[in-house]
């Protein structure tokens, strides 16, 4: 259980979920870790205390240094982003490479599928076009769901694909179960990954399978997803969080001024390989397949990637992508 201050109120973080606490006095007694961060009460208020390498660098040094190591090439306001969303010109989705890697482990043809954090629906549409019996895509973002629905009509698969705009973890409810759950590039953005895994588990039928590929993960060089304005690797460990996010506002997203990585547009939950695998087991899944950086299992990257997969220390640092296939055991197996 963790506490932190946000906009003058006290919020409690429990199992990755945030909710307001009615008794702020309870916060006074806490000094708990939040990943690599501590939240402590100082000077009459709760303050965010980082303990990464860069946290001790004074802002007067860190800020001009990071500014010099960043650029404004991708500076965009929310209006510009919304306009592009209306024109369906988001970056091309990697649905086909997702299916190339996950397809080695499971067959979705003739099966019911739910896609968690479906974005603009490319994966859902591809699944429906290539033999899935029924597909449901769920995403928080209204823009993306609107775009997904337009595409489903344009591709004539609207009878097999439905899109729901909601928070999957908090709001999604269904009486049906699914044979397969997919989630592409979303698990590092879902603020309560353990609850999400538990919810997916509940939505799967007995023997159902979750296939996911996502990343970069938090301990990898670009785990903070700040590559839109700087190529400094591990910028989130080398510079204080407030400085990184200040430069992000100035050089990348002027309409999204935030103080924590969790609050950036799209969110970041600081997930690591170890945490994800621990949550998967906690949610009740059996691990059927696990691979880091499947796209690097070829050519000159093959040997370095074998080392990354084999050596625990390198596993976190080199976790650009995580592929996992997780199975909900059948009741008979659980009882037997
Ligand atoms: C990086 S995008 C990936 C979208 C899509 N899967 C793709 O590969 O193009 C992550 C998506 O997860 C969605 N998301 C994050 N948290 C969510 C939640 N709790 N419920 C539903 N969607 C969520 C975001 O809105 C975003 O569209």
Pairing of strands 112-116, 134-139: parallel
Measure 141 CA to ligand 1 centroid, in angstroms.
8
The model's confidence at residue 334, banded by pLDDT at 50, 70 and 90, is low
The model's confidence at residue 193, banded by pLDDT at 50, 70 and 90, is very high
Which residue owns the Cα nearest ligand 1 atom 11? 117
CA-to-CA dists, residue 181 to 89, 178, 200, 330, angstroms: 27, 7, 7, 16
Q: Could you tell me which residue, 317 or 88, shows the higher pLDDT?
A: 317
pLDDT at 125 over 80: yes
Average pLDDT of 166-183? Answer: 96
Average pLDDT of 190-208? Answer: 97
Is there a contact between 206 and 328 (Cβ–Cβ < 8 Å)?
A: yes
C-alpha span between 324 and 214 (Å, rounded): 9
Mean pLDDT of the chain: 84
C-alpha span between 89 and 302 (Å, rounded): 34
Average pLDDT of 328-335? Answer: 77
Which residue owns the Cα nearest ligand 1 atom 17? 190
Q: Give the list of residues 6+ apart from residue 284 with CB closer than 8 angstroms, or none.
A: 198, 201, 328, 329
pLDDT value at residue 194: 98
Length of the chain counted residue by residue: 336
Place of tokens 């100082």: 42
Is there a contact between 181 and 116 (Cβ–Cβ < 8 Å)?
A: yes
pLDDT value at residue 313: 87
User: Cα torsion for 120, 258, 255, 58, to the nearest 10°?
Assistant: -130
The model's confidence at residue 189, banded by pLDDT at 50, 70 and 90, is very high
Q: What is the pLDDT of residues 271-302, one digit of tens each?
A: 999 999 999 999 999 999 999 999 999 999 99
pLDDT at 200 over 50: yes
Which residue owns the Cα nearest ligand 1 atom 7? 119
DSSP string, 268-295: -----HHHHHHHHHHHTPEEEEEEE-GG
Q: In the structure encoding, which two tokens stand for residue 261, read together?
A: 């990585």
The predicted model scores a pTM of 0.84
Measure 139 CA to ligand 1 centroid, in angstroms.
6
Q: What is the pLDDT of residues 137-150, one digit of tens each?
A: 999 999 999 999 99
Q: What is the pLDDT of residues 22-49, one digit of tens each?
A: 333 333 322 233 334 443 333 333 345 5
pLDDT at 4 over 70: no
pLDDT value at residue 90: 40
pLDDT value at residue 242: 94
C-alpha span between 292 and 310 (Å, rounded): 10
Atom of ligand 1 nearest to the CA of 183: 6
pLDDT at 213 over 70: yes
Which residue out of 18, 101, 102, 117 has the highest number of ligand 1 atoms within 8 Å of its CB and is therefore the one to mutate? 117
The model's confidence at residue 333, banded by pLDDT at 50, 70 and 90, is low
pLDDT value at residue 55: 80
Q: In the structure encoding, which two tokens stand for residue 45, read together?
A: 């208020």
C-alpha span between 44 and 270 (Å, rounded): 28
Measure 196 CA to ligand 1 centroid, in angstroms.
12
DSSP string, 73-133: TT---HHHHHHHHHTT-PPPP-HHHHHHHHTTT---TT-EEEEET-TTSHHHHHHHHTT-S
Q: What is the pLDDT of residues 86-99, one digit of tens each?
A: 554 443 448 999 99
C-alpha span between 277 and 264 (Å, rounded): 24
pLDDT value at residue 136: 98
pLDDT value at residue 209: 98
pLDDT value at residue 81: 78
Q: Give the list of residues 6+ apart from residue 326 with CB closer than 8 angstroms, or none.
A: 197, 209, 210, 211, 212, 280, 285, 286, 287, 288
The model's confidence at residue 223, banded by pLDDT at 50, 70 and 90, is very high
Q: Could you tell me which residue, 216 or 47, shows the higher pLDDT?
A: 216
The model's confidence at residue 129, banded by pLDDT at 50, 70 and 90, is very high
Is there a contact between 233 and 221 (Cβ–Cβ < 8 Å)?
A: yes
Q: Could you tell me which residue, 174 or 197, shows the higher pLDDT?
A: 197
- Please report, for the chain, the start and end positions of each structural domain, with discontinuous segments joined by +: 1-51, 90-219+269-335
Measure 231 CA to ligand 1 centroid, in angstroms.
24
pLDDT value at residue 330: 86
Average pLDDT of 59-88? Answer: 86
What CATH number should be reported for the domain whose range is 90-219+269-335?
3.40.50.150
Number of neighbours of residue 238 by Cβ within 10 angstroms: 18
Is there a contact between 221 and 318 (Cβ–Cβ < 8 Å)?
A: no
């Amino acid at each position: 259980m963790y506490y932190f201050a946000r906009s003058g109120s006290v919020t409690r973080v429990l199992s990755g979920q945030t909710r307001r606490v009615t008794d702020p006095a309870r916060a006074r007694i806490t000094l708990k870790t939040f990943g690599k961060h501590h939240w402590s009460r100082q000077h009459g208020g709760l303050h965010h205390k980082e303990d990464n390498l860069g946290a001790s660098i004074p802002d007067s040094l860190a800020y001009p240094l990071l500014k010099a190591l960043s650029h404004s090439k991708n500076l965009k306001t929310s209006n510009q982003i919304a306009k592009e969303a209306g024109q369906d010109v988001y970056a091309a989705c990697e649905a086909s490479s997702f299916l190339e890697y996950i397809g080695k482990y499971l067959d979705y043809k003739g099966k019911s599928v739910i896609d968690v954090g479906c974005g603009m629906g490319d994966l859902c549409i591809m699944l429906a076009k290539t033999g899935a019996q029924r597909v449901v895509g769920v995403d928080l973002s209204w823009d993306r769901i609107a775009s997904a629905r337009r595409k489903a009509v344009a591709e004539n698969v609207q009878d097999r694909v439905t899109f729901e705009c909601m928070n999957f973890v908090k709001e999604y409810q269904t009486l049906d179960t699914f044979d397969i759950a997919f989630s592409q590039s979303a698990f590092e953005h879902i603020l309560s990954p353990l609850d999400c895994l538990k919810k997916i588990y509940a939505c799967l039928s007995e023997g159902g399978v979750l296939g996911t590929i996502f990343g970069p993960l938090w301990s990898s060089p670009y785990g903070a997803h700040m590559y839109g304005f700087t190529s400094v690797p591990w910028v989130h460990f080398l510079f204080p969080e407030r400085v990184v996010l200040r430069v992000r506002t100035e050089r990348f997203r002027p309409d999204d001024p935030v103080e924590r990585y969790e609050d950036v547009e799209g969110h970041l939950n600081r997930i690591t390989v170890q945490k994800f695998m621990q949550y998967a087991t906690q949610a009740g899944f059996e691990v059927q397949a696990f691979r880091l950086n499947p796209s690097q299992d070829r050519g000159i990257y093959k040997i370095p990637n074998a080392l990354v997969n084999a050596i625990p220390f390198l596993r976190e640092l080199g976790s650009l992508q995580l592929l996992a296939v997780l199975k909900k055991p059948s009741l008979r197996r659980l009882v037997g």
